[in-house]
Amino acid sequence: MGVKNHYIEFRNALTKNDIQKAEEEFEKAYNEAFIYYQQKLANNEKFNLKNDEERFALIALTDNLIGFWKEGMIDDAVALAESLVELVDSPKLKEMFKGYSLGMQSGIDVDTFFREYLDLSKVDAEFPEFLCNFKEKITELVK
């Protein structure tokens, strides 16, 4: 079915509050996204953000990273964020993954980080699927 279709099914199930289907579809999307991730690492390649499947793979990986963060799996989340920095060409997304990593390493919980360090009033024109617009306050985390 593909990462994109599984991810869309996941989002649709969430809107219908069908938690079981949402979990099943996200698992399928993530598993396919992880294959892309492994291939990119093995071949020293970047995600092609113009390709829907690869873009949705990156979205699923980012959602999983945030899930790790929420669950307190900080080492796993930081490792994923830092590897994703190297797998994207976009300076905006590199900055996003670095910012997320800084927040996790600073011990800030994900909800506080999103509230205090992200400008949630802005939707990025190029990457509307990602929460990638930081407030100036993010510079406090740079050591």
Q: Where are the domains of the chain?
A: 3-141
Q: Among 1, 129, 112, 108, which Cα is nearest to 60's?
A: 129
Residue 51 near residue 4, CB atoms below 8 Å? no
Task: Tell the burial category of 128 from Cβ atoms under 10 Å away from its Cβ (0-12, 13-18, 19+).
Answer: exposed
Token digits for 79? 């490792």
pTM (2 decimals)?
0.93
Integer angstrom CA distances of residue 141 from 11, 53, 112: 32, 33, 13
The 10 Å Cβ neighbour count of residue 59 is 19
Show pLDDT as tens, one digit a residue, over the chain (143 residues): 899 999 999 999 999 999 999 999 999 999 999 999 999 999 999 999 999 999 999 999 999 999 999 999 999 999 999 999 999 999 999 999 999 999 999 999 999 999 999 998 888 889 999 999 999 999 988 86
